[in-house]
Amino acid sequence: MHLATIGDIAVDIRAVAGEALTRGADARGAIRLLPGGSAANVAVWAARLGARATCLGAVGTDPWGAWLRDDLRREGVDAIGPRHGRTATILTFLDADGERTFVTDRAAALSLRAADLPGDVWDGLDALHLPAYSLFAGPLARTATMAAHQARERGIKVSIDLSSVSLLHAYGPERFAALLADLRPDLLFANRDEARALFSGTSADEVAAAMRAVARVAIVKRGAAGILVISDAGRVTASAPAHALDSTGAGDALAASFLVHFARDNDSERAAWAAVRLAGAVVQGEGARPPVRLPR
């Protein structure tokens, strides 16, 4: 299975406060620099699961860009795209429950253009995954939209993750819903808040049914309750409860695992269970790509 992603390759600045924050004062904590970016994370997890993975994205000419590219190659990911300007940086702040809040400076990541994609990028490709981050702004949004259309014309499966409820509202829910109707992804991932921003319904089942108007397979992420998958094959639920220390990248790992396993045997139930098990392991580690034992 060959999976390509388009979008952010970024430095994650991970900040964990060790005590309550007081505005204008100091707080003890821990800060680390880690490789990240949603598109890069999905590609890395796909490669770790035994798939061939390609990440299409722009990084800066600064040392961070070289570091991130080298890291992707060490992970077995083909990293393709230009280098110019500043590398994208994401500040990830973690609260006591392991929930994350992002401050993003996407810099060079937004600059990816259609001309940056090699002509043979579609050769042997089985699936194209787009975080919605890649569809919101800049040349990257135009490139990702074009790539989704070209993938569909070639019979390549297209997957989209809605990514961020705040950015969906900033973009315009009706506008993004129209974009999804145009792209018609084969698989659509969303948490409940993201899905409710675009689709009718309040329960997970209701929004999943509404998601099916634009996608063949709807995957609703329900946090500790696991995921709900609705497709032509029926309804599947799966959960693997875990004590969350850091939720960063768990959705990326879940998407990668579902895509890789679903591609292998077209079994949404097996893919769902594999996805929640991996996501449950990831939230117990540090950062978006902690070392975990992976089933092949």
- Name the residues annotated as catalytic: 252
Contacts of 232 (CB under 8 A, 6+ apart): 216
Of the candidates 207, 172, 166, 169, the residue with the CA atom closest to the CA atom of residue 188: 207
Of the candidates 112, 151, 107, the residue with the CA atom closest to the CA atom of residue 129: 151
DSSP letters, 5-62, are EES--EEEEEEEESS---TTS---EEEEEEEE-HHHHHHHHHHHTT-EEEEE--B-SS
Written as six digits, the tokens of 122 are 């579609």
CA dihedral of 189, 191, 197, 200, whole degrees rounded to 10: 80
Task: Determine contact, residues 247/283, Cβ cutoff 8 Å.
Answer: yes
